[in-house]
Amino acid sequence: MVYSKPVVRAEEPAGSEFGDEASMVDIAGNCKRVLEGIRRAAERSGRDPRQVRLLAATKTQPVSAVRAAVEAGVRLLGENYVQEAQAKKELVGDIAEWHLIGHLQRNKARSAAELFSVIQTLDNPRLARLLDREGRECNRDVHVLVEVNLAGEQTKTGVAEEGLAPLLRDVSGLERLRVRGLMIVPPLADDPEASRPHFRRLRELRDSLNDLGLANVALDELSMGMTHDYEVAVAEGSTLVRVGTALFGPRGPSR
Ligand SMILES: *Cc1c(COP(=O)(O)O)cnc(C)c1O
């Protein structure tokens, strides 16, 4: 297990705006290191590294840091809050694909459908219907992943394992909703190996749910793996790792 420690040259200033000056973190170097870690993990488990994409989790990071990641070749950006994404997307633009990786409230469904290429956190049918309606009104598909909560953590969002098939059956008829995969944030643990059973179970679920053959449900993506456990996630079949700290260094206070 190789843990890619972010290289931090100096303390990042705890600024108050997304447009803050560039920090001293070597983001390009960190991107290279993480991509290298993905490649190694994929090869060790007999996977093609090109099947795994790196998404930069940019919450609380200034626009300068987001730009640095894009310049380093990252083409997927993940934001947790609709408003924060809106502000940053105006400044960074469409050069990358923006994904929502934080919980989505129903009253933000409209903006989210407009802003994001993929909403990774669908976890209830009412939200699915709102997103579908948005898609029909704008005449385009809305791509989502279903967030799964395998550990049954009360404090976390996501669908429980037993709720997955019913949710997918429920939303599969929606005209403009495209369910593209599953996403998970396993319980926090120091040991990355603690995440492995969750990643493995998510892959098994993905495969068996695909076998249901539901309309508008093609579960190609497994969004799993963060800074401390992305190599384990890649070994277990991740197609999309969401990495923040290893690219940008420690986060400032949340907004
Ligand atoms: C913040 C965040 C990440 C990235 O976490 P790191 O540990 O900093 O890599 C990934 N996924 C989600 C949903 C997040 O909120």
The string of DSSP letters for 116-160 reads -SEEEEE--HHHHHHHHHHHHHHTS-EEEEEEE-TT--TTS-SB-
CA-CA distances (angstroms) from residue 141 to 35, 225, 240? 30, 26, 21
CA-CA distances (angstroms) from residue 180 to 145, 195, 253? 5, 22, 32
Closest atom, ligand 1, to C-alpha of 248: 8
Instruction: Write down the mean pLDDT value for the chain.
Output: 92
Tokens of 7: 């290289």
Distance CA 153, CA 189 (A): 13
Flag whether pLDDT at 255 surpasses 80. Answer: no
Mutate to test the pocket of ligand 1, among 148, 195, 226 (most ligand atoms within 8 A of CB): 226
Flag whether pLDDT at 142 surpasses 80. Answer: yes
Domains and CATH numbers, the chain: 27-248 (3.20.20.10)
- pTM summary value: 0.91
Closest atom, ligand 1, to C-alpha of 246: 9
**pLDDT tens column, 4-51:** 556 555 444 444 455 555 568 999 999 999 999 999 999 999 999 999
**pLDDT tens column, 94-123:** 999 999 999 999 999 999 999 999 999 999
The string of DSSP letters for 41-98 reads HHHHTT--GGG-EEEEE-TT--HHHHHHHHHTT--EEEES-HHHHHHHHHHH-TTSEE
**pLDDT value for 252:** 75
**pLDDT value for 254:** 61
Residue list, ligand 1 pocket, CB within 6 Å? 57, 59, 80, 101-102, 185, 226-227, 242-246
| CA angle at 199 for the pair 195 and 203, rounded to the nearest 5° | 170
Distance CA 221, CA 218 (A): 9
**pLDDT tens column, 118-135:** 999 999 999 999 999 999
pLDDT band, residue 188 (cuts 50/70/90): very high
